[in-house]
Every structure is written in C-alpha cells, then in structure tokens.
Structure 1
Amino acid sequence: MDKLHYQDACDRATIAKRKLEILKALSDPSGSREAWGDFLLWSDAFYVGLEKMATGRLSRPWFGKIKHIRRKDPLLQYMDQARNAHQHGVGSTRAIKADSKLRMGAFDIAAVKLGSQEVSKIYLGDDLVYPAVIITLVAVRNYDQVYEVPEIHLDEPISPQYLVFAEAQMRHIETTLRAASVFVDNPKDGS
C-alpha cells in the first residue's frame, strides 16, 4: 500500500477520534444522537478506507483477517450495524414515544417536568439516572436482523455503555492502523 492511502486512513481515524472527543464532552443529551452517529460514520469510513488501500499480496489477506474480526466480534459487529441503522434509517433513528421514554437510535432519553423546570432524565436499563448524561445502548434492528447489545469484545467482558463501546472501537482502529503501517511502501506487498 502506498503512503497516500495510508495517510487517508490516518486522516479518517483522526476524524473518528475527534468525533469521540465531542461525544465524551457532551453535557446535554440533546446532542448525543448526532455525535453518536458522527462517530459511527467516521469509524466505518476508516474501515472502508483501509479496505481500499489493502490491495497488495500481503495487505489483502491481512485486511481479510481484520474484516473477519469485525464480523465476528460482538462489539465491532454491533457498532457496524448501529452505523448501518443510524445512517440508512433502517433502525429506530427518530424519536418515537414509547411509554414515558423517547427511543432515539441506540439509547433512551426521557424529558420530564420537575416543578416548573423540564429536566432530561436518562434511563440506564430500568434505572432512572439524572442529571448526569448516561446513554443506554439498546438492540439495533437492521432490516429483519436484531443485534443485541453485546457484553463481550475480543473475548473479554465489556460494560454495555456507549462511551465504553466507542472507546473500544477507537482502540481497535488505532491498533489496526499501527498494524497497517508495516505495509506502507513495502515492496513485498506489491501494491
């Protein structure tokens, strides 16, 4: 793979990391849906860019292994399907009233009144948590397939929280990018 393709993948990873920082800095749940979608979109853009650059004798089979991990790892698969549902409107990406909760993409938010002041309340499972911004991941529906919130990532338990998931995805992107660097301008790769 050439330096230009590698740099493109680095740029996409940098944008994904910036989107993660925005997500982490949110103090108001109203921006969470957009920030979550932006992170999912740029995370996927990284993998798309990586696939385009992995065309050589050595890099193509290596990327096949990365693709296999992404398909088989519960967290990485969930994140990919959440991006598909979010971007393509396949899943529940608009706010719809269900009981006292608003379902928005892969998390639940409810706005309620305390006295005369409206307060956003966040549901973590069945527990009501406020005023901190905690967003609960929910199953993602992509056409007729349902992807439950995973509790495993790379054969290790993982807490089902959206920032934990986003940080794990970002670590995977960074690790993958470091591994891809061995193919840059490698004459044995032949790309």
Structure 2
Amino acid sequence: MREILNHWSDLLTYGNRVFGKLEQGAKRTSAADWFAAIKEERQTDPLLNYLHEARNVDDHGIAPVASSDHVFQIADLSGGQAVTMFSTTGRAADLQMMPGPNVTRVIALLPVKVRNAILEVPNSHRGKSIANSTPLNFAVLFLQRLEEVVAEARQWCDLAATQSPCSD
C-alpha cells in the first residue's frame, strides 16, 4: 500500500511540474493569455483544483491526502460494482471488516485543508459528474487533461517558435 501512496504523491508532484513548466514557457509570449485561461480552469474545476491543493498539502507534509488505513473494498457478488467503505474515526471496530476473498484493502482519497476551509474529494470535472472517485480514475482524468494541455501548448510553440522555449 505504501508504494501506491507514493505513486499517488508522485502523480500530484509531477502533474504540478507540467503546469509550472507551461506557465514559465508562456510568460511574455503570445501564449500568456492562453495559459491564464488554463490557470483559471485549474482554480475553478473541482478535480483540477483538488489535485493542485492536494499536491500542496502533500508536498509540504501538512496532512495525508490519501490513506489505506481502515479502507476496504467489498466485491459485489451479484456482478455489480464494488462498494468502498472506510472508518472515518480510524477505529477498525467501527468498520468491523477484515480483508478476505471478497474484501480487499484499497486507497481512499481524503479531503484536504486549504487555508481555513476543507476541500472535499470532488465529484465533477469539466462540467461532468465523476461516478468513480478512485485514485485510479482521478489519475486517468488528470493525465488526459494534461495531455490536452500539452498538445495545446505545442500548437502555441508551433505558432511562435522564436518567442517561446519549446524545444523537444
């Protein structure tokens, strides 16, 4: 489980670096307005904002942003979706569940404290509902958006190759 938590932390860190590099590359170029819109999306989109703030909390060691403590997934034997349950008190007795053939320990994302508020795990991204709020699904959505943003940045580089540091 520790390895999975470390990979989640890496995703948050390296995703943030992509945005940082794009911001630096867009400064003082014709892409500055484009990146301002990307930055605005990152502040207003529930998933992107959550991942950005979770990175800050995780990177500065303020609090955990994901946990495997007392988090279990129960396989639905009728062929439906699995159900994830966890104890918010951290007491195993509150959950009364042990790993077994149909119960496995999983990672759950946690709300993050941002200034004087709590940012809950998001349930939407780019105007669409997120039905599956697992770290894997969030990672896929985040990486898809990063790929789109990098593709957009490459178009700006192609338009203004002499104004922007856009080398491979």
Q: TM-score w.r.t. structure 2 length?
A: 0.74
Distance 1:59 1:72, change over 3 A: same
Contact 1:82–1:106 (CA<8 Å) still a contact in 2? no
**Does structure 1 residue 67 correspond to structure 2 residue 54?**
no
Distance 2:42 2:98 in 1: 32
Distance 1:138 1:176, change over 3 A: same
Distance 1:125 1:140, change over 3 A: farther
Distance 1:30 1:188, change over 3 A: closer
Cα shift at 1:189: 8.0
RMSD (Å), alpha carbons = 2.3
Distance 2:40 2:162 in 1: 20
**Does structure 1 residue 33 correspond to structure 2 residue 12?**
no
Cα shift at 1:56: 4.3
1:47 alignment partner in structure 2: 19
**Does structure 1 residue 81 correspond to structure 2 residue 53?**
yes
**Does structure 1 residue 170 correspond to structure 2 residue 143?**
yes
Query: For 1:109, what is the secondary structure of its paired residue?
Result: coil
Distance 1:78 1:189, change over 3 A: farther
Q: Which runs of 4+ in 1 moved over 6 A?
A: none
Contact 1:122–1:133 (CA<8 Å) still a contact in 2? yes
Distance 2:156 2:98 in 1: 47
Q: TM-score w.r.t. structure 1 length?
A: 0.66
| Identity value in percent | 26
Cα shift at 1:184: 1.5
Contact 1:54–1:63 (CA<8 Å) still a contact in 2? yes
Aligned residues: 141
Distance 1:187 1:142, change over 3 A: closer
Distance 1:190 1:78, change over 3 A: same
Contact 1:51–1:63 (CA<8 Å) still a contact in 2? yes
1:58 aligned residue (26, 30, 39): 30
Contact 2:29–2:163 (CA<8 Å) still a contact in 1? yes
